[in-house]
Structure 1
Amino acid sequence: MGMFALGWRDPTSPTAEWDIAQVRRLARRLGYGLLWADSCSVLGLAEQVESSGVGTILLPSSAHVDAVTLDRIMAVADVECAAPRVSFARWSVLGGVRR
């Protein structure tokens, strides 16, 4: 596996094992090696995505991040969700302006 994605689940989720299994299955299906974001890091999730150098973050669902965090992540990476199975492409930057 040459490409890696960053996995994340809401640490307060009551279904942690299920969430982790969904992200692992999604990583396998999409052909990614999986790294996990650190819920105890002083860096926010968007900063962890950016500093890790990955181009994709995998989530059990979009409910595992708030709207502001999702927007910030989409500035630097694609977002793939397991259930429902949806993809959010990173924002494109043209002339320094997000479109």
Structure 2
Amino acid sequence: MRPQPAAIGFLRHDVSGAQQQWDEAQIQHLARRLGYDLCKTLVFGPETDRPIMRVRTLLSRLEADAVIIPSLAHFGGRIPDDLVQVADIITVSPENTYARWGIPPVE
């Protein structure tokens, strides 16, 4: 068992543009502030085949609990449903957490 929860970073270089290093630093800072061990940051572009599947594969391999992204723009403006089922998604700006565990409906 890990001493702290694990996370991976994710960004698209075409979305970050000239701010890519800044976005990577912000991911690292937020992970540290929230108590995550940032294991790896994936940097993809529009040419990357099946990026969400690749993120899910890395989450599984590293047994990570969260994906930290600079903003929703890096996921095309929305949180991928199949990704939030297996990990929390945390955005740097605005800072928000999309939790994987939903509250079950009251019956």
- TM-score by structure 2 length? 0.71
Residue number in structure 1 paired with 2:22: 18
Query: Quick one: distance in 2 between partners of 1:87 and 1:68?
Result: 13
% same residue: 29
Residue number in structure 2 paired with 1:36: 40
What is the identity, as a one-letter code, of the residue corresponding to 1:5?
Answer: A
Query: Quick one: distance in 1 between partners of 2:94 and 2:69?
Result: 10
Residue number in structure 1 paired with 2:10: 8
- Over 3 Å counting, the alpha-carbon distance change for 1:68 and 1:52 in structure 2 is farther
- Secondary structure at the residue paired with 1:79? strand
Superposition RMSD in Å: 2.6
Residue number in structure 2 paired with 1:97: none
- Secondary structure at the residue paired with 1:90? coil
Instruction: Compute the displacement of 1:77 (Å).
Output: 0.4
Query: Quick one: distance in 1 between partners of 2:42 and 2:57?
Result: 11
| 1:86 maps to which of 77, 93, 96 | 96
Unpaired runs of 5+ residues, structure 1, are 95-99
Number of residue equivalences = 94
- TM-score by structure 1 length? 0.75
Instruction: Compute the displacement of 1:82 (Å).
Output: 0.7
- Over 3 Å counting, the alpha-carbon distance change for 1:2 and 1:61 in structure 2 is same
Deviates more, 1:74-83 or 1:48-57: 48-57
Query: Could you say which structure has the larger radius of gyration?
Result: 2
